[in-house]
A and B are shown apart, each in its own frame.
Chain A
Amino acid sequence: MTATEPKPARTRLIGGPGMVLLWLYGVMVVGAVSRSAYQIATDFGRAPLAYTLSAVAGVVYGFITYSLVRGGERARRAALVCCAAELAGVLVVGTWTLVEPSAFPDATVWSDYGMGYLFIPVLLPVSALYWLRRAHRQEQHAA
């Protein structure tokens, strides 16, 4: 792996706990993308807002997953921004679904703070933000 190479060009973001994050993000990508693709293809008119939000969530998850695999400082920063956006999305949509359920005839990935997904959607960005910040500090120590 890249860790054994003499000159690691990029910060490795999927070492240790990062591997668990990568797995969970991978699961969320598959979950959100396949779910929204199916719903948009079959019955978009029923809940356009909910299905579009699920699709957006899927794209965000996909980008974070890619950034984690790629590694390096720019990918780390991009992932950091996306995780913050993801957290904001979960909180906004989660609150929205509780306050105004009529806007959502069908659930999104982020409904009720991701309760249908074992709250992973709200726990994941928090742990990812923590991990990405720590990865940065470790790199500074190494340098």
Chain B
Amino acid sequence: MLDALTLATGVAALLLAAWCGWAAHRDQPTKDWHFIGMGVVTLLAVVQLVVGFVALARGQKPEQGTTIFVAYLLGAFACVPAAGFMSLAERTRWGSVTVAAAGVVLAVLEVRLYDIWGG
């Protein structure tokens, strides 16, 4: 369950990065549709957060330690929304670049989460 979610979130994050990268390439700020995209990715991260906590509550142990696992879950959750707010403050192509960078960072976090969980 967690592995499938990790993969889905990682792929969605990369798609978001490509999409916002395209917007930046066309010299456009993030628009409503981009924010809906960020919402979808964030929703996946929230579901992942919940599923992760449920797995921990059931007594499952991440391979590389619970603290690191929780820290990465929280980081993955906060990543895209933080960049979203920053792109609201920066209504130029650079706001789009910020969100694209967030997508790449989230994808990396997902790879790390996969390792930490011990997939």
Contacts and interface: CB of A to CB of B under 8 A. Distances in A.
A23 B68 contact: no
Contacts of B90: 14-16, 19
Contact of A19 (B68, B75, B89, B108): B89
B41 to A, nearest CB: 16
B46 interface: no
Interface residues of A, number: 18
Interface residues of B, number: 21
Query: What secondary structure prevails in chain B residues at the interface with A?
Result: helix
Given A20-B97, A118-B108, A26 B82 contact: yes
Contacts of A42: 67
Given A20-B94, A20-B101, 13 more contacts: A16-B90, A19-B86, A19-B87, A19-B95, A19-B98, A20-B97, A20-B98, A22-B86, A23-B86, A23-B102, A27-B105, A42-B67, A118-B104
25 contacts: A14-B90, A16-B90, A16-B92, A16-B94, A17-B97, A19-B86, A19-B90, A19-B95, A19-B98, A20-B97, A20-B98, A20-B101, A22-B86, A23-B98, A23-B101, A23-B102, A24-B101, A26-B82, A27-B79, A27-B105, A30-B75, A34-B75, A38-B67, A38-B71, A118-B104
